[in-house]
Amino acid sequence: MANMTRAEVKAYIEGVVEQVKQRNPGEVEFHQTVSEVLESLEPVLAKSPEFIEKGIIDLIVEPERVIKFRVPWVDDQGVTRVNRGYRVQFNSAIGPYKGGLRFHPTVNESIMKFLGFEQTFKNSLTSLPMGGGKGGSDFDPQGKSDAEVMRFCQSFMTELQKYIGANTDVPAGDIGVGAREIGYLFGQYKRLRDEFTGVLTGKGMPYGGSILRPEATGFGAVYYAVDMLNYFGDDIKGKTFAVSGFGNVAWGAVKKINELGGKVLTISGPDGYIYDPDGVGTEEKIDYMLEMRASCRNRVQDYADKFGVEFFPKQKPWGVKADIMMPCATQNEVGMPEAELMVKNGLKYYVEVANMPTTNEAIAYLKANGVIVAPSKAVNAGGVSVSGLEMSQNSMRYSWTAEEVDEKLHMIMHNIFKASIDAAHEYDLGDDLVAGANIAGFLKVARAMLAFGVC
């Protein structure tokens, strides 16, 4: 097939995005990620039209399988409750489906598909053999007793176990699913299937977990940020960070930023944000983040009360002056008003850590105004990378030391940064880390799909 002009490719991509919107009505988060990724593939498709000709683009936006199921459970008052469970098995071209489970009241099919689609390219970037998947439920763990969470997890796994396996699909945690939930889910899987396999990652250390998995997403994000800063002639030492969220991911990032000499001025929760001029830096303060998350109160004001710093109710930290912004809570935390504020404050670096924390319009605005944007699917890939390393250790029936896991994580994050910048250069996109990550992640999956023919 002859090369296509950029205009022809652009028109083709617009057509695919339009079709995705029509076939998945109302799924706005899914539409958002599909247009973000496909638009950045324009130069690749112009140069390699076989991806269009062989239908790879049409295939890649359609999940291989969407599983949706009823999750009945009984609360502490004896009342029957019913939630919805999901597993989106998005793409298995380069390995078993792999991705977390999210328990949050906002979970719906659109959120599951957006996360599964993103995961496909993220997992490809890790260079480990993992396909993309995501799952979860609209169950709200907040305010539930331990016994209720256990009964819910057992019921969820009773259905999910039909579709997963160590060589088929390997779930892990995400928002609302931490060590406690993974324990209940793994116990139920083992009981029903009578096999001890690496079917879940993020497991506890006594039963096959990997050392450093809890820290991995945050640590990996900071390793990536260091490479980015060095590439642009900067250093992390003495840099100030505004972080949102206070969960597992924010905690790991804050810990590593401090270790490497940076200073974290803010963390946030649904109730507002705290500003700590001395930095969220002592061991006591960092450990307190874990306590706040474990308390299930979902309040960051507790930090302000305990350490005597200022609390800004119902506000996000994006108006503060800091060298680096790091959204670590959830999708679409940053839209146009926040992006405008950042540009007005002369922000230089914007590092996405949560999945898709920025609207497409805001990303374009930040980039157009000279802010260096690091995209979540590259930055937060350290979590799933150590999940991949947990799978390797489980297969070998062996455990690596903290030093070994950390060294591998570090190497993976270096490779992700390098693959992204190299892809951007190869397609004449300057230092566009967002497009570079999309392209590098896409190419491996698409080449595997080409090899398989139409299937």
Residue 325 binds to ligand 2IT (criterion: CB under 6 A):
no
Residue 247 binds to ligand NDP (criterion: CB under 6 A):
yes
Residue 293 binds to ligand NDP (criterion: CB under 6 A):
yes
> What are the φ and ψ backbone dihedral angles of 242, each rounded to 5 degrees?
-105, 120
Q: What are the residues facing 99 on neighbouring strands?
A: 171
Cβ closer to ligand 2IT: 332 or 345? 332
CB 255 within 8 Å of CB 223: no
Residue 270 binds to ligand NDP (criterion: CB under 6 A):
yes
Active-site annotation holds for 190 = no
Cβ closer to ligand 2IT: 99 or 245? 99
Binding residues with ligand 2IT: total (CB under 6 A): 12
> What are the φ and ψ backbone dihedral angles of 30, each rounded to 5 degrees?
-65, -45
- Kindly state the smallest distance separating residue 189's Cβ from ligand NDP, in Å: 19
Residue 67's CB is within 10 A of a number of other CB atoms, namely 19
Binding residues with ligand NDP: total (CB under 6 A): 24
Stretch that binds ligand 2IT, among 92-100, 234-242, 263-271, 433-441 (CB under 6 A): 92-100
Residue 245 binds to ligand NDP (criterion: CB under 6 A):
yes
Cβ closer to ligand 2IT: 42 or 352? 352
Q: For ligand 2IT, which residue of 63, 95, 100, 135 counts as binding (CB under 6 A)?
A: 100
365's tokens? 């605005």
Scored b (16 or more CB within 10 A) or e, 265-276 reads: bbbbbebbbbbb
CB 349 within 8 Å of CB 374: yes
Q: x/- string (CB under 6 A) for ligand NDP, residues 152-181?
A: ---------------------xxxx-----
Residue 32's CB is within 10 A of a number of other CB atoms, namely 19
Element (H, E) at 32: helix 28-40
Q: What are the residues facing 133 on neighbouring strands?
A: 89
Q: x/- string (CB under 6 A) for ligand 2IT, residues 381-420?
A: --xx--x---------------------------------
Q: Which residue's structure tokens are 């977390």? A: 100
Nearest alpha carbon to residue 379 among 330, 328, 333, 427 = 328
Binding site for ligand NDP (CB under 6 A): 100, 104, 106, 173-176, 217, 245, 247-250, 269-270, 293, 298, 328-330, 354-355, 380, 383
Catalytic residues: 134
